Each structure stands twice: as C-alpha cells, then as structure tokens.
C-alpha cells in the first residue's frame, strides 16, 4: 500500500506533475492486490481515501459466476487461516472475540497489505451466500 500526497489542484483543475508536501493536501491510496490494483478517489483525509480504496476493491473483485458451493469452500479455506499459527491470525481472532460495539470489526485497509484479498474475499463470499 502506498500513500501519495498531492497539493490542491491549480485554477485549471490540473495537478502539477511533481509531488509536494503542502499544508493543503489530498490523499490518494494505491493498493496492489494479487490480481489487480486499486487507486482511491481523491479525499482530504487519509481515512476517507482508505475507505474508498476498500470499496473500489470490493466492486472490482465482483465474481458473479461463483456457485454457493465454491463460496462456502472459499470461506472454509479462509477461516482455516484464522486457526493457523500466524501473527495475523491471532490479530483476526482477537477482533472476533472482542466484546462491545467493535465486535468482529477489522479495519479493511490495515489488513489488506498483510492478507491482501482475504478480507475482501470473505466479505464477497458472505454477500454472495446471503443474496
């Protein structure tokens, strides 16, 4: 995942060719996934740009040809990862065991650079099973 800080556009609405660090800046997030790359829309806040990238990745990775059986198999494989002896698996288990309002919530972009498509694929698989 990379973060580019771009200055506000000039009067013509164009961005200058060089990157500058100004007080007034916008964030663009670029995420490289195994099958494709996603670049966010331009936002003032880094968090909004991260959210945009996650949403675009979910939209871009839409696979309508998947069967219910394939979706369940995909979920099973990804859940097996949670029980593996890996630091990220521990992190995800902790989010699922958390009590309160944030129970089971994982910040998608912070996880994407570690597990790349796993979070997106699980959500897509669940959405396809529900629909």
Same domain? 77 vs 49: no
Same domain? 9 vs 53: yes
Same domain? 15 vs 43: yes
User: Distance between CA atoms of 105 and 98, rounded to whole angstroms?
Assistant: 9
Same domain? 49 vs 83: no
Same domain? 43 vs 80: no
pLDDT at 17: 39
Give the residue from 11, 33, 60 where a domain finishes.
60
Collapsed DSSP state (helix, strand, coil) of residue 103: coil
Same domain? 41 vs 94: no
Rounded average pLDDT per 10-residue block, the chain, 131 residues: 49 45 62 73 78 78 70 75 61 69 57 52 63 56
Same domain? 12 vs 35: yes
How many domains does the chain divide into? Answer: 2
Q: Is 102 exposed, middle or buried (0-12, 13-18, 19+ CB in 10 A)?
A: exposed
pLDDT at 69: 81
CATH classification of the domain holding 30: 3.30.160.20
Q: Is 7 exposed, middle or buried (0-12, 13-18, 19+ CB in 10 A)?
A: middle
Residue 74: which domain range?
A: 68-130
């Amino acid at each position: 995942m990379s973060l580019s800080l771009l200055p506000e556009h000039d009067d013509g609405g164009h961005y200058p060719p060089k990157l500058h660090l100004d007080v007034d800046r916008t964030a663009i997030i670029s995420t490289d996934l195994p099958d494709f790359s996603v670049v966010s829309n331009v936002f003032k806040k880094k968090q909004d740009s991260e959210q945009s990238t996650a949403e675009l990745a979910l939209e871009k990775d839409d696979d309508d040809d998947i069967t219910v059986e394939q979706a369940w198999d995909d979920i099973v494989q990804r859940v097996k990862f949670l029980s593996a002896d890996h630091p990220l698996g521990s992190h995800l288990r902790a989010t699922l065991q958390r009590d309160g309002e944030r129970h089971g919530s994982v910040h998608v972009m912070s996880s994407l650079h570690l597990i790349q498509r796993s979070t997106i694929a699980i959500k897509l698989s669940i959405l396809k099973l529900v629909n």
